[in-house]
Structure 1
């Protein structure tokens, strides 16, 4: 089961595409889009599932469709709502990062149903969520029976100045990878990565890290850019300026997430 945001959903779609060619069409199915989406293979008695949980803990962004909110509220100590849906899985692949880069979040502790929400910056909120997630892993995961993976941050390519000084663009119309060995863009926050490493240290061998960050940093040409379905109708002004609405976050399929799954396969 993949658990997380739309980037993890992309990796789930990649996995389903890679696997379904080995399953007869009349022996496979996909459930309707919902918080929990399931690919089933009757022949192998197996499922590959995706659970929408962008902050890992309970939040007002848990609706997979209606989550474009001006104000994000999370329950930093409440992981059980989502855990009840993922705990049956033999293999768990988690991610959480980019949603914490969208500004401050508000905290609503489980003991304060009608309490005042405290505001915290995104990295601080992520650390609280990761702590709650880690507590669940520490208490509930037997590494002899269940494999747990955490996917590291997925890079973005919003400013071409980072790989081509004096240019004024983003991933739009890019056709080749970055060839600067060790390139690291501003979208990948090192302090956040260090915080996650600190959380993972106390989990010992219970979690394997799927480190996709550096290899994906080079792939500025791997995003869908303007070639995707957008939530809202694009204005004439946007259509005249493709860089203004290019998606430089998600990844094309087939594409980079297929490589992530090849790495996952090697772990398994």
Structure 2
């Protein structure tokens, strides 16, 4: 009898595996750009069916049916409206991400709002997360009648409200997650072991999506702080990745101690890569994804640190690894089209002219992050 039960259980698990895999398969063998991270895996601790498909490994496929919303979406900030700002090409809007062996369903605004009914989703982090928040708002707002949607502002937070669904899509500005304060001597002090001033706003939220990496990598000249502090110890110099690990560990302890996984889902989005270095990585006048890149020898330190912190947590945090896919998209940044350019400025473009190779044009790359997010939810 025990043997029969074991055999039936094995058959059930095998059927479930193939069913979940086949439901994600895309029968079309499309040609695209391939990324192979060579075993550089996501941290997945939820045990859900999405682990069958590693969304971080795949290729960019050109798709004429994109973008997913009108570039004139009223909730976009001027710095990311590249078409309005004079960018002459638009192919960067038409690439979708196809994981190896499966596909990410096209974003369905009504379905997403249905899943979010009477819930709060909050995106917490830096200006790249603001970039993603604007994308998510534009993805859903088109199906909501005028007068049944609004945006509210409250200090470091802003929220888009879909009234008929009693849903709010929120953004909370906390680029370092931990607290940055002014000392009595008017010095900027980054407290690596304090977080409650920010975290009190995260309580009661149904879905929390975090990012934090870019500000930790700022050079001494552009750093947002003068000193680090742990307890009573004031520290002037510290390896940025050591500081990042300490700050993330403070965040991880707060999540472990204060959130209930039965009530709150937590996702941490990995670092969005910059393309502002020399030797071919500058983003100006780039019109296609990079053909190939392997992270085997080039895994960004912040991603390695983040993985290490998440592995030690008790709370089941899902790491949404967008680094491996996004590193290929140097064509998707605003570059010099972060503002409307005058004719004399256009003549200087690409020659020492200020270029944004960190944020993303919208519609564009963050829309794909949100398609992935919709699947995870």
Superposition TM-score tier, normalisation by shorter sequence: 0.7 to 0.9
Structure 2 match to 1:73: 189
Distance 1:136 1:33, change over 3 A: closer
Partner of 2:258: 140
Query: TM-score with structure 2 length normalisation?
Result: 0.60
Q: Does 1:240 align with 2:358?
A: no
Whether contact under 8 Å (2:194, 2:250) holds in the other structure is yes
Matched-pair contact (CA < 8 Å) for 1:162–1:185: no
Aligned residue runs from structure 1 range 37-48, under 5 A:
37-48=158-169
Mapped to 1, the partners of 2:277 and 2:218 lie a distance apart of 17
TM-score, structure 1 normalization = 0.82
Alignment counterpart, residue 129 of structure 1, candidates 225, 239, 247: 247
RMSD: 2.8
Question: Where in structure 2 are there 5+ consecutive unaligned residues?
Answer: 1-121
In the alignment, structure 1 residue 252 sits paired with structure 2 residue 361: yes
Using CA pairs under 8 Å that are at least 6 residues apart, name the structure with larger relative contact order, 1 or 2: 2
Structure 1, unpaired ranges of 5+: 62-70, 164-169
Q: How many residues align?
A: 245
Matched-pair contact (CA < 8 Å) for 1:9–1:50: yes
Identify the residue that residue 66 of structure 1 maps to in structure 2: none
Instruction: Describe the shift of the 1:238–1:207 C-alpha distance in structure 2 as closer, same or farther (beyond 3 A).
Output: same
Give runs of aligned pairs for residues 179-194 of structure 1, distance below 5 A. Answer: 179-182=291-294, 189=300, 191-194=301-304
CA distance in 2 between partners of 1:34 and 1:222 (Å) = 30
Instruction: Please state whether the residue corresponding to 1:26 is helix, strand or coil.
Output: coil
Shift, 1:103, TM fit: 3.0
Change (3 A) 1:212 1:250: same
Match of 1:227 in 2: 337
Partner of 1:25: 146
Aligned to 2:127: 6
SS for the counterpart of 2:366 is: helix
- In structure 2, the CA distance between the partners of 1:86 and 1:205, relative to structure 1 (3 Å rule), is closer
Pairwise CA distance, 1:161: 2.0
Larger radius of gyration: 2
Matched residue, 1:68: none
Of 170, 178, 195, the residue aligned with 2:290 is 178
Secondary structure of the 2:179 match is coil
| Cα displacement string for residues 27-78 of structure 1 (whole angstroms, at most 9, x for unaligned residues) | 11012484101111111111111010010001149xxxxxxxxx85311111
SS at 1:92 equivalent: strand
In the alignment, is the contact (CA less than 8 A) between 2:177 and 2:251 conserved in 1?
yes
- CA–CA distance in 2 between the matches of 1:100 and 1:41? 34
User: SS of the residue aligned with 1:18?
Assistant: helix
Deviations along 1:82-104, one digit per CA (max 9) or x if unpaired, are 11111121000000001111135
Contact 1:183 1:218 in 2 (8 A): no
SS in 2 for 1:197: helix
8 A contact 2:255–2:315 mirrored in 1:
no
Distance 1:149 1:171, change over 3 A: same
Residue number among 155, 160, 178 corresponding to 2:273 in the alignment: 155
